[in-house]
Structure 1
Amino acid sequence: MSKIGFIGLGIMGRPMAGHLLNAGHTLVTVKRDKPLDATLADKGMRELDSPAAVAEASEVIITMVPDTPDVEQVLFGDRGVIEGLQPGTLVIDMSSIAPLATQQFARRIHDAGGEYVDAPVSGGEGGAINAALTIMVGATEEGFARARPLLEIMGKTITHIGGHGDGQTCKVANQIVVALTIEAVSEGLLFASRAGADVAKVREALLGGLAQSKILDVHGERMIQRTFDPGFKIRLHQKDLNLALEGARSLNLALPGTANAQQLFQACTAHDGGDWDHAGMVRALEALADHEITSK
């Protein structure tokens, strides 16, 4: 069993850490202003004063924080992980951040004597709770071999994409596809509703044909039932699409669909919807149509 430092106990991180505890690993985390989740505390998770202290007590560090600057602060900021890093420590970043920055972080951890793995995830809160996440890995062969047994506790589909940063590149591609599929499902259901069809039956029929997708299944249901409590927040998806659009500029690519999806998310944010589930994109399209999806 491993001594693991797990930093980032949000919507996704809490259940992921719980699975590691259930598997018998010892976990520590960084003390925050609010109390440690009681379920994790009851399973033996302990709090320490800083990321450096967490690193000093750990063989493996897992980070699951919102954005590139957050990872940089945890790893390299004041009393950051790197100050307490032990020789041979495995650092697994499961956040969704910039691929280029990931490559830089990997070099710095390697130079300090550690092994770095980028392992962003897809599957949302449900995937985290059910240990069914899709995990996209950028690492050396050795790093992937060391990380895989832990990743298999938290996820269902684990793919070694390539070297450092390739996991994050795959995650950016994933977020492009997810955003555009949410937009497509929103437009299809909005069209059906405005035309007077029973939108629940339309969704049921589409799930049996070529239009079938997990987005139509899970988020189509959210749109019809009007349940926009976040499994994955719009503002976090906006962050990921910013990475896509910034990368596209550097690669001299046009991503018009991605840019349009980002504008629809921005319209939601302008209406205080940054913390809605990303299925809430449908609300921006409903506002343009002056029509809300309803089920007969």
Structure 2
Amino acid sequence: MSSATSIGFIGLGIMGSPMSVHLATAGHPVAGYDFDAAKAEPLAAAGGRAATSVAEAVAGADVVCAMVPDSPDVVALMRGAEGVFAHAKPGALIIDFSSIRPDVTAELAEEARERGFRYLDAPVSGGEAGARNAALSIMVGGSADDFQAAKQIFDIVGGTVVHVGPNGAGQTVKAANQLIVAANIQAVSEALVFLEAYGVDTKAALEVLGGGLAGSKVLEQKKENMLGRSFQPGFRIDLHHKDMGIVTAAAREAGVVIPLGSLVAQLVAATRAAGDGGLDHSALLRGVERMSGRRTDGQA
């Protein structure tokens, strides 16, 4: 792949916008599209081009990147009459950065190959901070050759980039990632409410916990949100709810028992049902507070 690869980038939200900006800043011609035209402004400011449709964004692109919320969104994006399969040039490399069902990815990858495209599933972890700092962890499913062809792209937006197997493997690893992250957030939330109940200096407590075996990336990155009750979304509970549905369904299909994962999925669902779906997933803390009768903002 040449040093200046033409890229069509679909989905310029919290994650997709900074990723597309990094690619443009690195010198690649990037045409970006989002249903909300205003979301293309950062890309345009970085030297990219705001497209007015998916078809325009992908036309002639060597690489097509997608970062959209859920499996139906990816299916519509790829298969729609104005979508990627209908308008990308033959031989284009399609990279789906979205987090979706592994079986859907496998089906789309097979269809892409039949249509003469190359296809990688490359879901990411790291949230908004990882996207802005080009420090995402990227788990890639697809052929080894296609992975090597895309490595230059991945290295611009990611810090840890690993080929984990064939198409669908990236999504399977991402599902496992989301299980671990949700369980960690829930544990930190419960620990914080427990500490507060005993009047402990919680900032000091989380600092020392972070230096021991209880330390984690979740604790490191989410403790300030929790201490300050500031839940501006880096990764919304709505999306984590979707991801927990993916992992619990996939586990059932594989005959794998994930009792903790199933419980955490229900706790995520409960927090969402209480109206917190648009908040950052660190707002699982609010669910623990509600169950403990310790909400202080007058909300149930």
Q: State the TM bucket, normalised to the shorter chain.
A: over 0.9
Q: Normalized against structure 2, the TM-score is what?
A: 0.94
**1:54: Cα distance to partner?**
2.6
The equivalent of 1:281 in structure 2 is 284
* C-alpha distance in 2 between matches for 1:9 and 1:156: 20
- The percentage of aligned residue pairs carrying the same residue is 43
Q: How many residues align?
A: 293
* C-alpha distance in 2 between matches for 1:38 and 1:30: 10
Q: Which amino acid aligns with 2:265?
A: Q
Note if 1:140 corresponds to 2:150.
Answer: no
Q: Which amino acid aligns with 1:116?
A: Y
The equivalent of 2:230 in structure 1 is 227
Residue in structure 2 matching 1:13, options 12, 16, 27: 16
Contact conserved, 1:4 with 1:27, CA < 8 A, in 2? yes
* C-alpha distance in 1 between matches for 2:46 and 2:226: 36
Instruction: Tell me whether 162-171 or 76-85 shows the greater mean CA deviation.
Output: 76-85
Residue in structure 1 matching 2:165, options 162, 165, 179: 162
The equivalent of 2:88 in structure 1 is 85
The equivalent of 2:193 in structure 1 is 190
Instruction: Tell me whether 269-278 or 51-60 shows the greater mean CA deviation.
Output: 51-60
* Per-residue deviation, residues 174-231 of structure 1 (Å, max 9, x unmatched): 0000000011111111111112211111101101111011111221221111111100
Which runs of structure 2 are paired with 1:59-98 in the superposition (5 Å)? 59-98=62-101
The equivalent of 1:38 in structure 2 is 41
Instruction: Tell me whether 284-293 or 149-158 shows the greater mean CA deviation.
Output: 284-293
Q: Normalized against structure 1, the TM-score is what?
A: 0.95
Cα distance change on mapping 1:46 and 1:182 into 2, 3 Å: same
Residue in structure 1 matching 2:250, options 247, 250, 256: 247
* C-alpha distance in 1 between matches for 2:34 and 2:173: 32
SS of 2:38's equivalent in the other structure is coil
Instruction: Tell me whether 222-231 or 37-46 shows the greater mean CA deviation.
Output: 37-46
The equivalent of 2:106 in structure 1 is 103
* C-alpha distance in 1 between matches for 2:46 and 2:222: 33
SS of 2:275's equivalent in the other structure is coil
Contact conserved, 1:190 with 1:292, CA < 8 A, in 2? no
Cα distance change on mapping 1:129 and 1:88 into 2, 3 Å: same
Instruction: Tell me whether 76-85 or 153-162 shows the greater mean CA deviation.
Output: 76-85
Residue in structure 2 matching 1:119, options 112, 122, 126: 122
Residue in structure 2 matching 1:22, options 22, 25, 30: 25
Unmatched 5+ stretches in structure 2? none
Cα distance change on mapping 1:205 and 1:48 into 2, 3 Å: closer
The equivalent of 2:180 in structure 1 is 177
* C-alpha distance in 2 between matches for 1:31 and 1:234: 22
SS of 1:184's equivalent in the other structure is helix
The equivalent of 1:256 in structure 2 is 259
Instruction: Tell me whether 195-204 or 225-234 shows the greater mean CA deviation.
Output: 195-204
Unmatched 5+ stretches in structure 1? none
Cα distance change on mapping 1:186 and 1:144 into 2, 3 Å: same
SS of 1:70's equivalent in the other structure is helix
Contact conserved, 1:85 with 1:112, CA < 8 A, in 2? no
Which runs of structure 2 are paired with 1:211-222 in the superposition (5 Å)? 211-222=214-225
For the aligned residue pairs, the C-alpha RMSD in angstroms reads: 1.4
SS of 2:12's equivalent in the other structure is coil
Cα distance change on mapping 1:284 and 1:36 into 2, 3 Å: closer
SS of 1:159's equivalent in the other structure is strand
* C-alpha distance in 1 between matches for 2:182 and 2:232: 17
Q: Which amino acid aligns with 1:41?
A: A
* C-alpha distance in 2 between matches for 1:268 and 1:177: 18
